[in-house]
Chain A
Amino acid sequence: MTPEPARLDPLEDQRLVDRCLRGDAAAWEALVRRHERLVHAVSRSYHLSESDLGDVFQDVFAALVSGLPRLREPRALVRWISSTTQRIARATALKRRREQALSAAPETIPELAAGDPPVGADLERLEEQAMVQLGLAALSPRCQRLIEALYYEDPAPGYSSIARRLGLPMGSIGPTRARCLERLRAAIEAVTRAPSRISERDRPTFDSGTGGPEGFRLGSFVERLGQPAREDSP
C-alpha cells in the first residue's frame, strides 16, 4: 500500500481519525506513519529486543485503535502516544529483566556500568521532536529534503554537497533554508494550536506502582510560541 502524502493541515490527525473510525485502512496506515517515529524513539530508550519492540508497537497502536474516538488533536495524540509507549515499553523491559534475573545464575548477571546508556525516555524532548516532525511532514518535499539534510544528517553536509544533491544554486541554500524554517515554525504553530477535543477525564493517568511519569511535561517550546520571552532566555 502506498502511504498517503502529508498535508499542510493542522486538522490532519482529526480527519485521519474520522476516516479510521469509518474503517478506512489507508487512513490508519497514514496515522501510523505520522506517529510511529515517536513510538520508536520512546521504545528504543528501553533497549528492547526486536521481538519486544514489535510487541510494544502492537500494544500501543492497539490501544490507539480503542482510543480513536477521543484522540483527534495532534498535541493530545503526541502526549498520549509518548506516555502510553513509555508505560508499555517500561513494563516490557521490567518483565524481561525479571525473567532474566530469575533464570540466570547470579554470577552471570552483568553489572550496570557507569558508561551504559541510560534507560528510559526523556518524554519532553521526544514530544518536541515529534511535533517538529509533524510540522515537517506538512512542508513541500523540497523544504523537507533541505531541512533533513541540514539538521538531521550527522555530520551535516556542506552547502555545496546539498546544492548538488537537491539541484539548487549554492547561493540559494541560505535564503531557502530560512524560508523553509519559517514555514516549519508556522506549521508547528498551526499543529499546536489545532482545537483540542480531548477532555481531562480521557487523559491517561499513571499510578506510582507502574513507575509511570508523574504528569505530562509537554515540550514547553511549542506551548511557548508566541508568548513573551523569558528574561533568562539565552
Chain B
Amino acid sequence: MKRPPMGRRHLDVPAVLDYLEARLDATAMARVEDHLAGSCSRCRELLHEVGRLVDAMRADRTPPVPAAARARALTTFGVRARVQDSELAAWRRARLLFDSLAAPLPVAVRRAVGEARWLKFALDQHVLEIETEPESGEQVTVRGRLVAPEPAVHRIELVAGSETLTAWPDAGGRFTLERVPTGAARLTVESPDHRWRLPSVVL
C-alpha cells in the first residue's frame, strides 16, 4: 500500500515528542506544523495530551517525603491493626474524676470559661480532660487533652446518636471534635496496647 506523503501522515508519539522537544530538523518541523495547521483534530489532540503529560511531569517538583512524616502515617494503621487483632484486649473502664456540671466551678473560673463544661477522666495512669462548648441548640464542640506518653498514637472515638466521630491527638495531646450532636455520648480511647471505655455523658 502506498504511504501518504509526510505532511499528510498522522503523527505518532515519537514524532510528537521530537516536535515538543525540538529534536526535529527544520524540514521535519515544517512538515509537522503543516500537518497540525490542517484539519487533523486527531493529531492536535495527541499533541495536546502528550504535551500536557510532559508538562505535568516537568512541573512536579515535590521533594522526597520526610521519613518522620511517613512514620506518623504508618502509625495510624498500627493502632488500628493492633487493636483489631486483639479483640482480646479487654476494655478498661475509665473513671470520671471531675464534671463541672456536678461540681460547679468558682465564679471567677466560670466567668473565664463561659458556657463551657469541663470533664476529667482517669485512664489508669493517664488523664483525659475535655471541654464542651455549645455551638448551636443541637451541637457542641468538644476540645480535649490527653495526658499520656505519646498521645499522638491514641485514637479517640465519640459516638453520639447515629454519629461516630474520631480524633487523633496532636503531639501535645490536644484534639477537637466539632459539630457533635447533643445528648448521650460514649467515648473510647485506644492506644497500641490498651483501650478504655469512658462512662457515658450527656452533652
Spell out A's residues near B (CB within 8 Å): 20, 23-25, 28-29, 32-33, 36-37, 39-41, 44, 50-51, 53-66, 125, 128-129, 132-133, 147, 151-152, 154, 174-175, 177-178, 181-182, 184-185, 188, 219, 221, 224-225, 228-231, 233-234
Contact = CB atoms under 8 A, between A and B. Distances in A.
Nearest to B15: A178
A115 B73 CA distance: 33
Given A154-B61, A233-B48, A61 B77 contact: yes
Contacts of A185: 13, 49-50, 53
18 contacts: A33-B70, A36-B70, A39-B73, A40-B69, A54-B68, A57-B69, A57-B73, A58-B152, A60-B73, A128-B52, A128-B56, A129-B56, A152-B58, A178-B14, A221-B53, A224-B49, A229-B41, A231-B41
A184 B17 CA distance: 14
B56 A221 contact: yes
Given A50-B68, A54-B69, A25 B52 contact: no
B62 A37 contact: yes
Q: Tell me if A's interface is mostly helix, strand, loop or mixed.
A: helix
Interface of B: 12-14, 17-18, 23, 41-42, 44-45, 47-54, 56-63, 65-66, 68-70, 72-78, 80-81, 84-85, 152, 155, 166, 168, 170-171
A29 to B, nearest CB: 6
A53 B76 contact: no
B23 A174 contact: yes
A59 B168 contact: yes
Contacts of B68: 50, 54
B127 to A, nearest CB: 21
Contact of B76 (A58, A152, A229): A58
Nearest to A91: B176
Nearest to B52: A221
A83 B104 CA distance: 42
B99 to A, nearest CB: 28
Given A65-B80, A66-B166, A221 B45 contact: no
A230 to B, nearest CB: 8
A234 B47 CA distance: 8
B171 A51 contact: yes
Contacts of B14: 174-175, 178
Contacts of A188: 53
A181 B13 contact: yes
A178 B11 CA distance: 13
Contacts of B56: 125, 128-129, 132, 219, 221
Contacts of B48: 229-230, 233-234
A62 B76 contact: yes
Contacts of A219: 56
A28 B79 CA distance: 12
A132 B171 contact: no
B32 to A, nearest CB: 13
A41 B63 CA distance: 8
Given A40-B65, A54-B69, 5 more contacts: A50-B66, A61-B73, A125-B59, A175-B14, A181-B50
A132 B78 CA distance: 29
Contacts of A224: 49
Given A177-B17, A181-B50, A23 B81 contact: yes
Contacts of A175: 14
Contacts of A59: 168
Contact of A29 (B44, B53, B74, B168): B74
